[in-house]
Structure 1
Amino acid sequence: MVLLPASRQKRHFNAAEGYLLLEMPEQALRELSRIGSTEKDSEKYYCLLGQAQQLAKRYKEALDAYQRAYEKSPENLTTLMGMAWCHKRTDQLPLAISIMEEAYQNHSDEAVVLYNLSCYFALAGDKTNALSWLGRSLRMEPKLIKLIEEESDFDSLRSDKDFKFVVESAGDKTSQNS
């Protein structure tokens, strides 16, 4: 068993987090590989590993890492959102929805959770749930409206009158608050 000084462990974790912020997954993975064996069995390590694998578009490996993080801390929002995102990209949309519903149970105050549920329901062809979650997310965080134009998950709804109404209503409220 390799034991590294705590300061060196922390440096590798911090470096990995920095590389992830810069969207440099290979460098983050390199830093994570330098972490000692005792720290590798931690929720933080597995969550960062999942993020790096996800960013490197290795979704199955990311899911494995996120699953290990989930086993250690099942309420971690970063882990739950990462798992859902990877399930979506591995054509497991029902699992993505299920994970985001689980995230909502513990993070109902996070508008991004509601927004992601809306996206996944839109992809699943469930207009009613998609619009319900979208409207709720926009009422919680009106700034999310800026994401909608570029969000391909909503492509199937763009010409729908109800979708337009939800988005325009939120846009009206956003401009009134400016």
Structure 2
Amino acid sequence: MSVNKLRYYQNYRNLRHAQGILELISCNDDLWGLDPELKRRMARRALEMLRGARPRGHRRAAWFYLRGRAWSMLGKYQRGIRDLRMAIKLDPHHIANYLAIAWCFKRTDRLQQSIVALNRAIAKAPHHPTVRYNQACYLSLVGQPQLAAMELSIALELKPQLRAKVVSESDFDPIRNHPAFESALQVIV
């Protein structure tokens, strides 16, 4: 096997390994609430795997995306934003890039930038329920109850299972008693 082919497969393996680690953190954190120290160790391990990879071509966008996610899981949101911006530049059609950068913006108290990022995602994928749901959350937090309710109703229409999350979603607390929010929940899906 040539050196170039070997390097190609090593880069691919490192990307997949890092992706797997980050997916384990995300899914297990949602289900059981991972121990914060374990979560940090796993995110650092993913960064180590990515440090060893130097992908070319279309995989560069994935590399930046994964690095951005890992940094954000470590609470290094500015570093995450920097890498996610590069991921968006390289692959502006990958919706997860916008979700991840919006999440980082929220954690750095830049909700307007979160909203702008998700507006770009909506323009590319108007029927993506997670984008619509997150946009509803961010709009709620900036005091836009009508727009938040509209986005929430679209999200619920696209994916009715999201209704179960609304009850415990603290992002909706600012508008929970607003008539538009109550109306959005009454929509029959």
Cα distance in 2 between the residues matched to 1:135 and 1:89: 25
Match of 1:17 in 2: 19
Structure 1: where are the runs of 5+ without partners? none
Cα distance in 2 between the residues matched to 1:38 and 1:102: 26
1:52 aligned onto 2:79: no
Match of 2:164, SS state, is: helix
TM-score normalised by length of structure 1: 0.87
Cα distance in 2 between the residues matched to 1:159 and 1:130: 13
1:163 aligned onto 2:181: yes
CA contact under 8 A between 2:145 and 2:178: conserved in structure 1? no
1:27-72 deviation per Cα after TM superposition (whole angstroms, max 9, x unaligned)? 1111111113757x81111011011111111110000000111111
CA contact under 8 A between 2:11 and 2:55: conserved in structure 1? no
Amino-acid identity (%): 27
CA contact under 8 A between 2:68 and 2:79: conserved in structure 1? yes
1:86 aligned to which of 104, 110, 113: 104
Report the RMSD for the aligned CA atoms in angstroms. Answer: 2.1
2:124 aligned to which of 99, 106, 110: 106
Shift of 1:101: 0.6
Structure 2: where are the runs of 5+ without partners? 26-41
1:123 aligned onto 2:123: no
Cα distance in 1 between the residues matched to 2:55 and 2:154: 43
Cα distance in 2 between the residues matched to 1:160 and 1:109: 25
TM-score normalised by length of structure 2: 0.82
CA contact under 8 A between 2:8 and 2:55: conserved in structure 1? no
Cα distance in 1 between the residues matched to 2:126 and 2:178: 27
Cα distance in 1 between the residues matched to 2:7 and 2:93: 29
For 2:72, give the aligned amino acid: Q
Cα distance in 1 between the residues matched to 2:8 and 2:119: 37
Shift of 1:158: 2.1
Shift of 1:162: 3.5
For 1:8, give the aligned amino acid: Q
Match of 1:149 in 2: 167
1:95-144 deviation per Cα after TM superposition (whole angstroms, max 9, x unaligned)? 11011011000011111111111111100000110011111111111011
Cα distance in 1 between the residues matched to 2:161 and 2:56: 41
Match of 2:181, SS state, is: helix
Match of 1:34 in 2: 52
